[in-house]
Structure 1
Amino acid sequence: MKYFSLLAIIIAFSCSPVDEPEIPQKEPENQEVTLTLADPNATEITRALYSNLWRLQSEGFMFGHHDDLIYGRDWYAEAGRSDTKEVCGDYPAVFSVDFAEIMDDRHETSDLNDDRRRTILEARARGEVITACAHLNNPLTGGDSWDNSNVTVVKEILTSGSETNIKYKVWLDRLADFVNNLKDENGVLIPIIFRPYHEHTQGWSWWGSQCTTQDEFIDFWRFTVNYLTQDKNVHNLIFAISPQLDGVASSQRLLYRWPGDEYVDFIGMDSYHGTNTDALASNVKNLAALSKEKLKPCGVTETGIEGVRDNNGQEYAKYWTQEILTPIIGKDISLVVMWRNKYDPQYGGYHYYGPWAGHASADDFVDFYESSFTIFSQDLPDMYTMATGVTVN
Structure 2
Amino acid sequence: MIGSLALSLLVASGVVAQSVTYQAESATLSGVTVGTSVSGFTGTGYVEGFDEAADSITFTVNSSTSQLYDLKLIYNGPYGDKYTNVVLNNAGGSQVSLPATTAWTTVSAGQVLLNAGSNTIQIQNNWGWYLIDAITLSPAAKRGPHKVTTAPINKKANPDAKALLKYLGSIYGKHILSGQQDQASLDWVTQNVGKTPAILGVDLMDYTESRKSRGASSTDVDKAIAFAKQGGIITFCWHWGAPTGLYDTEDHRWWSGFYTDATDFNIETALADTTNANYTLLMNDIDTIAVELKKLQAAGVPVIWRPLHEAEGAWFWWGAKGPEPCKKLWKILYERLTKKHGLNNLIWEWNSVKTDWYPGSDYVDLVSADTYSQGDHGPISATYNNLLTLANDTKIIAAAEIGSVMEPAQLQAYQADWVYFCVWSGDFISGGTWNSVDFLKSVYSSDYVLTLDEIQGWKNGTSKTV
Normalising to structure 1: TM-score of the pair? Answer: 0.71
273, 280, 295: which one aligns with 2:380 = 280
Which residue does 1:336 correspond to in 2? Answer: 421
Q: Distance in 1 between matches of 2:304 and 2:243?
A: 23
1:284-363 pair list within 5 angstroms: 284-288=384-388, 293-304=392-403, 320=405, 323-329=406-412, 330-341=415-426, 352-355=427-430, 361-363=436-438
Q: Distance in 1 between matches of 2:213 and 2:408?
A: 41
Does the aligned pair in 2 maintain the 1:45–1:385 contact within 8 Å? Answer: no
SS in 2 for 1:96: strand
> Structure 1 97/256 Cα, relative in aligned 2: closer, same or farther at 3 Å?
farther
Does the aligned pair in 2 maintain the 1:55–1:387 contact within 8 Å? Answer: no
249, 254, 258: which one aligns with 2:358 = 258
2:368 pairs with 1:368: no
SS in 2 for 1:234: coil
Q: Distance in 1 between matches of 2:143 and 2:201?
A: 33
Which residue does 1:167 correspond to in 2? Answer: 281
Does the aligned pair in 2 maintain the 1:145–1:205 contact within 8 Å? Answer: yes
For 1:124-143, what per-residue CA distance to the aligned partner results, in whole angstroms no more than 9, with x for missing partners? 01221111111111124125
> Structure 1 361/275 Cα, relative in aligned 2: closer, same or farther at 3 Å?
closer
2:93 pairs with 1:93: no
> Structure 1 232/384 Cα, relative in aligned 2: closer, same or farther at 3 Å?
same
Which residue does 1:382 correspond to in 2? Answer: 457
SS in 1 for 2:400: strand
Does the aligned pair in 1 maintain the 2:148–2:396 contact within 8 Å? Answer: no
SS in 2 for 1:331: coil
Q: Distance in 2 between matches of 1:26 and 1:387?
A: 31
SS in 2 for 1:150: coil
> Aligned-pair RMSD on alpha carbons?
3.2
2:315 pairs with 1:204: yes
Q: Distance in 2 between matches of 1:386 and 1:109?
A: 44
> Structure 1 27/196 Cα, relative in aligned 2: closer, same or farther at 3 Å?
closer
For 1:238-266, what per-residue CA distance to the aligned partner results, in whole angstroms no more than 9, with x for missing partners? 111112xxxxxxxxx44341111101111
Which residue does 2:258 correspond to in 1? Answer: 145
1:31-180 pair list within 5 angstroms: 34-67=149-182, 69=183, 71-72=184-185, 82-107=187-212, 113-114=218-219, 116-143=220-247, 144-148=257-261, 150=264, 152-180=266-294
**Number of residue-to-residue matches in the alignment:** 314
SS in 1 for 2:443: helix
Amino acid at match of 1:340: S
Does the aligned pair in 2 maintain the 1:288–1:333 contact within 8 Å? Answer: no
Structure 2 runs not aligned, ≥5 long = 1-112, 115-139, 248-256
For 1:340-392, what per-residue CA distance to the aligned partner results, in whole angstroms no more than 9, with x for missing partners? 11xxxxxxxxxx1114799981122111111111111111153323699xxxx
Does the aligned pair in 2 maintain the 1:86–1:356 contact within 8 Å? Answer: no
Q: Distance in 2 between matches of 1:43 and 1:112?
A: 29
> Structure 1 92/58 Cα, relative in aligned 2: closer, same or farther at 3 Å?
same
Does the aligned pair in 1 maintain the 2:243–2:281 contact within 8 Å? Answer: yes
Please identify which structure carries the higher strand content.
2
SS in 1 for 2:349: strand
Amino acid at match of 1:88: V
Q: Distance in 1 between matches of 2:444 and 2:246?
A: 42
For 1:290-319, what per-residue CA distance to the aligned partner results, in whole angstroms no more than 9, with x for missing partners? 56x3422111001105xxxxxxxxxxxxxx
SS in 2 for 1:167: helix
Q: Distance in 2 between matches of 1:360 and 1:229?
A: 38
Q: Distance in 1 between matches of 2:162 and 2:294?
A: 16
SS in 2 for 1:180: helix
Q: Distance in 2 between matches of 1:193 and 1:36?
A: 14
Structure 1 runs not aligned, ≥5 long = 1-20, 73-80, 244-252, 306-319, 342-351, 389-393
313, 322, 342: which one aligns with 1:233 = 342
- Aligned-pair distance for 1:216? 1.4
Amino acid at match of 2:364: V
SS in 2 for 1:274: coil
Does the aligned pair in 2 maintain the 1:52–1:387 contact within 8 Å? Answer: no
